[in-house]
Structure 1
């Protein structure tokens, strides 16, 4: 019998981190070996998420926790301000990073890919782990070949720090791979309120809505004379991302290099 995949959760006391802890504890082929949070005391991680005690206490020092627990994989949903440093630390320690946060430039991703390959480990940077959201991105990219006039509207809660969302940016990138840049709208249009037309990306616009009570939604609106097509995905709970996280933890054990985008794991 193969041994379980040893997993450490960074940002374990956060809302996404707690869901990851529960997921790892439930998966028969995974073992939770560490949890890290700067703002939490040494609580048992199982007890923290309302499950049976698991014998793993929260740590506040990421490097010490990873060095002592020796995980195979870290899952990190902390935030863009720590994403690159945490990823570099994991690779230096020979640990496979699964990063569910934004903040990586193309140059940083290329460098991390090189470091992963030199260490012969896999890694993943994924703006979104929802299988439904990945399908939405794919369908939008496919449809943009026939409906090149489009706009993206994404909706999140008012505490989200980045705009547009990583999912919107990834959607735009996938669309731009198959759609030539065209200038949409009236060439003489003028914003009477700055920013009212949204952010410009490769000829189309991205709009970010931030309101309390909203979780995560995105729609891609496409139109041609006489018709319109809307492709939309709605997430209502963080549990929507967990099947994707479990797939990612298993997949990064099987290859070398840093992959950007969970869509590469969906056939």
Structure 2
């Protein structure tokens, strides 16, 4: 039985994770971390302080589905207390990841940070990485609900990073291209353009467009409910128990 604590249980992802932990064989929910105790959480031990949660419930794994600022603080404290974090919060900087990597090495504790817990989305990223060997011009369109705070999404950034392992950095489009309106061509990672859409009704969607002479290859993934992320979360909880290092990206634990 894996003792699991959850940070961020009142968010939409957190509510799904709470239900998953309760239903998953081999998981025991030992405590929740939230900014306040509410009636909807009255059936569970709720803590406002991460230190109190860690000391009083003695979890083996902390699932964190909060914000980048809180997620970094929670993850750091968990590692220092020998608790293995599984983090779905995006927005970690390279410096943050390096700091967490050093902590994992120091305390010999595993940590998994996943920009996207959807196994289908991870397969899309893997396929995009492979396609980049043969088609070098690519743009990414990511579409999320209008309450998402960061843009571009962590999934889009991770996709671009994977593509870059098989792509020669270059500027795309006409050499004399100009934006009539600033931002029209999107964000830029080594010449790969990233476009963010934020609309009510969306959950999490992404297209990767590869253009070639006389052809277009489109890779697309759609998450219609947040339940699509839960098999990936459960997989990470089981896998992090076997690890003693930082793993960034679900693709690194899928064969």
Q: Whole-Å Cα distance in 2 between the matches of residues 155 and 232 of structure 1? A: 11
1:96 maps onto 2:84 in alignment:
yes
Deviation at 1:180, TM superposition (A): 0.9
Deviation at 1:58, TM superposition (A): 2.3
Runs of 4+, deviation exceeding 4 Å: 42-45
Does the aligned pair in 2 maintain the 1:84–1:103 contact within 8 Å? no
Q: Whole-Å Cα distance in 2 between the matches of residues 44 and 260 of structure 1? A: 30
Q: Whole-Å Cα distance in 2 between the matches of residues 84 and 60 of structure 1? A: 16
Q: Of the candidates 18, 23, 48, which is equivalent to residue 20 of structure 2?
A: 23
Q: Whole-Å Cα distance in 2 between the matches of residues 230 and 44 of structure 1? A: 43
Q: Of the candidates 205, 209, 218, which is equivalent to residue 206 of structure 2?
A: 218
TM-score where L is the length of structure 1:
0.92
Cα deviation 1:193-242 (Å, max 9, x = unaligned) = 00000011111200001111111100001111111100000000010000
Match of 1:251 in 2: 239
Q: Whole-Å Cα distance in 2 between the matches of residues 64 and 37 of structure 1? A: 12
The SS at the match of 1:178 is: coil
Deviation at 1:105, TM superposition (A): 1.5
CA RMSD of aligned residues (A): 1.3
Of 11-20 and 240-249, deviating more is: 11-20
Cα deviation 1:85-119 (Å, max 9, x = unaligned) = 11111111110011101121122212211211221
Q: Whole-Å Cα distance in 1 between the matches of residues 138 and 11 of structure 2? A: 35
Q: Whole-Å Cα distance in 2 between the matches of residues 102 and 245 of structure 1? A: 14
Match of 1:51 in 2: none
Deviation at 1:13, TM superposition (A): 1.6
Q: Whole-Å Cα distance in 2 between the matches of residues 191 and 40 of structure 1? A: 49
Match of 1:121 in 2: 109
TM-score where L is the length of structure 2:
0.97
Does the aligned pair in 2 maintain the 1:43–1:58 contact within 8 Å? no
5 Å matches for 1:113-192?
Answer: 113-192=101-180
Specify every segment of 5 or more residues in structure 1 that has no aligned partner in the other structure, as ranges. 48-55
Does the aligned pair in 2 maintain the 1:41–1:59 contact within 8 Å? no
Does the aligned pair in 2 maintain the 1:148–1:179 contact within 8 Å? yes
Q: Whole-Å Cα distance in 1 between the matches of residues 9 and 188 of structure 2? A: 36
Q: Whole-Å Cα distance in 1 between the matches of residues 151 and 28 of structure 2? A: 35
Deviation at 1:44, TM superposition (A): 4.8
Q: Of the candidates 198, 223, 232, which is equivalent to residue 220 of structure 2?
A: 232
Aligned pairs, number = 255
Q: Of the candidates 25, 28, 32, which is equivalent to residue 35 of structure 1?
A: 32
Q: Whole-Å Cα distance in 2 between the matches of residues 119 and 5 of structure 1? A: 20
Does the aligned pair in 1 maintain the 2:141–2:207 contact within 8 Å? yes
Specify every segment of 5 or more residues in structure 2 that has no aligned partner in the other structure, as ranges. none
1:262 maps onto 2:250 in alignment:
yes
Match of 2:70 in 1: 82
